[in-house]
Amino acid sequence: MQTTQENQSALERRIEMTVPKAEVEKEVETRLKRMARTVKMAGFRPGKVPYKMVAQTYGQQARSEAIGAAVEKAFGEKVREGNFRVAGYPRIEPLEDTQEQLAFSAVFEVYPEVTIGDLSQKEISKPALEVGEEEVDKTIEVLRKQRTTFSPVERAAVEGDRVVIDFAGRKDGELFEGGQATDFPFVLGAGQMLKDFETAVEGLAKGESKTFDMTFPDDYHAANLAGQTVQFEITVKGVEEPRLPEIDDEFARSLGIADGEVSKMREEVRANLQREVKRRVQAKIKEQVMDALIDTHPIEIPKALVEGESRQLAENARKDLEQRGMKNQNIPVEPAWFTEQAERRVKLGLIMAEVVKSKELHAKPEQVRALVDDFAQSYEDPSEVVTWYYSQPDRLAQAEALVIEDNVVEWVLGAAKTVDSPVSFDELMGNAGPKG
């Protein structure tokens, strides 16, 4: 067996290999004799089929397997000899044979060499926010709004009210699809309906009707209605005003405080809010850290890894569609859609692997346990959550991966410049407030 090597590009390698035909033929014979011991054919007992018949029937299969094994062996030896870190699978192509040799080429990619870069000039902004009484009050207000109830009123509808209406929409005098409903409820000002439609309903009381023209926006999702003027007929069936719950014992119990003590409720809200603020701050810091790692380590990445990651992301998207009740065969999901995201993930994976290895940032058991304990604190029975993580290796592996990420973040923060950046509560929460 002989091999020669040439570099195609920074990561692509090409190896030419020759395999003695005599060795292949010897292996073919060995495989056929092995088959002959157990092969079944009509008219013969197992193991009694003549060798020539076995060779005639299975010879091509045995030769293909023998050649494949020989090429795989030759490729494996060359990889070990050259200490290649092969990324993906090689592309094997036949070359022109000689009288005594079978010739092949193997084209494959290798992992890039990653040299830890200088992060000292990178600046990481660390959002700073102390959770105080104002933040607790805002969060409780959000929780109150989530528990809004509505009561019937005998007056004209105003913003914030929930109205129940019948409506029918006509385009050129004809009812259009999706343009009619009975006993349809929506809250004025919540954005569920188009602004012009809400404006037409506002000011009407129970039992009142109205006919009005409305023009759909040019970018409306239904192409047949975009930019079109239609006529709506509406009848108000009911008007209900919102009522927020009082901050009392009953409200506290609705949030899981068994004795209904409001002070305990505030403490619980503060603790949950502090965890949420910490999580969001860490997420913003982590995103900056990952950007810094990519900027500081401009590496070429194997196409094979990007293609594999793109396929995995596409498969995840298909599964997500299925879980949402969609039939993904009607919604094609192409791996090419995820190429940019896959490239980033592959780059970060290669860079972080080298950082973890060279800086010894592997997850320690006590770090993993501390992370799992922290996750568990937001559940009613933390011990059950801890048991859930430690009962399956793959679940624990997810926690270990997060610990490694945190270790890398801490290392980067130590190597880069950091600056505390005060941030408002609404800004950190995305202006929408925290989720209850």
- Cβ-proximal residues to 370 (8 Å cutoff; 6+ apart), any chain: none
How large is the average pLDDT for residues 329-338?
82
Give the pairing of strands 123-128 and 101-110: unpaired
Name the band, by pLDDT with cuts 50, 70 and 90, for residue 5. Answer: low
Q: Among 157-171, 225-239, 369-383, which stretch is predicted with the lowest mean pLDDT?
A: 369-383
Answer whether residue 109 shows pLDDT above 70: yes
Answer whether residue 97 shows pLDDT above 70: yes
Sign of the CA dihedral 51, 55, 61, 65? positive
Specify whether the CB–CB gap between 20 and 27 falls below 8 A: no
Model pLDDT, residue 210: 96
How large is the average pLDDT for residues 206-234?
94
Specify whether the CB–CB gap between 348 and 409 falls below 8 A: no
- Give whole-number Cα distances, 228 to 194, 217, 225, in Å: 14, 8, 5
Sign of the CA dihedral 109, 110, 115, 120? positive
- Which comes out higher in pLDDT, residue 402 or 41? 402
Whether the predicted model's global pTM rises above the 0.75 cut: no
Answer whether residue 27 shows pLDDT above 80: yes
Where is 375: in which H helix or E strand?
helix 365-376
Name the band, by pLDDT with cuts 50, 70 and 90, for residue 39. Answer: confident
Answer whether residue 433 shows pLDDT above 80: no
Domains identified in the chain and CATH numbers? 2-110 (3.30.70.1050), 123-134+263-428 (1.10.3120.10), 148-243 (3.10.50.40)
DSSP 8-state assignment for residue 44: S
Answer whether residue 327 shows pLDDT above 70: no
How large is the average pLDDT for residues 271-284?
91
Sequence-distant contacts of 388-391: CB under 8 A, at least 24 apart:
none
Name the band, by pLDDT with cuts 50, 70 and 90, for residue 51. Answer: confident
How large is the average pLDDT for residues 53-79?
91
State the chain's mean pLDDT as an integer: 90
Sequence-distant contacts of 54-60: CB under 8 A, at least 24 apart:
58/32, 59/28, 59/32
- Give whole-number Cα distances, 21 to 1, 71, 108, 271, 320, in Å: 10, 12, 24, 74, 51
How large is the average pLDDT for residues 227-236?
96
Answer whether residue 156 shows pLDDT above 80: yes
Sequence-distant contacts of 4-8: CB under 8 A, at least 24 apart:
5/78, 5/82, 8/107
How large is the average pLDDT for residues 100-128?
94
Answer whether residue 404 shows pLDDT above 60: yes
Name the band, by pLDDT with cuts 50, 70 and 90, for residue 324. Answer: confident
Residue 128, beta-bridge partner list: 422
Model pLDDT, residue 1: 46
Nearest to 3 by CA among 77, 97, 95: 77
How large is the average pLDDT for residues 130-159?
93
Model pLDDT, residue 375: 86
Q: Among 32-46, 69-83, 125-139, 273-287, which stretch is predicted with the lowest mean pLDDT?
A: 32-46
Model pLDDT, residue 325: 74
Angle at 16 between CA 12 and CA 17, to 5 degrees: 135
Model pLDDT, residue 298: 93
Sequence letter at residue 218: D
Answer whether residue 303 shows pLDDT above 70: yes
Model pLDDT, residue 363: 94
Q: What is the pLDDT of residues 185-210, one digit of tens each?
A: 999 999 999 999 999 999 999 999 99
- Give whole-number Cα distances, 254 to 274, 284, 360, in Å: 21, 32, 47
Please report, rounded to a whole number, the percentage of residues in the chain having pLDDT higher than 90.
73
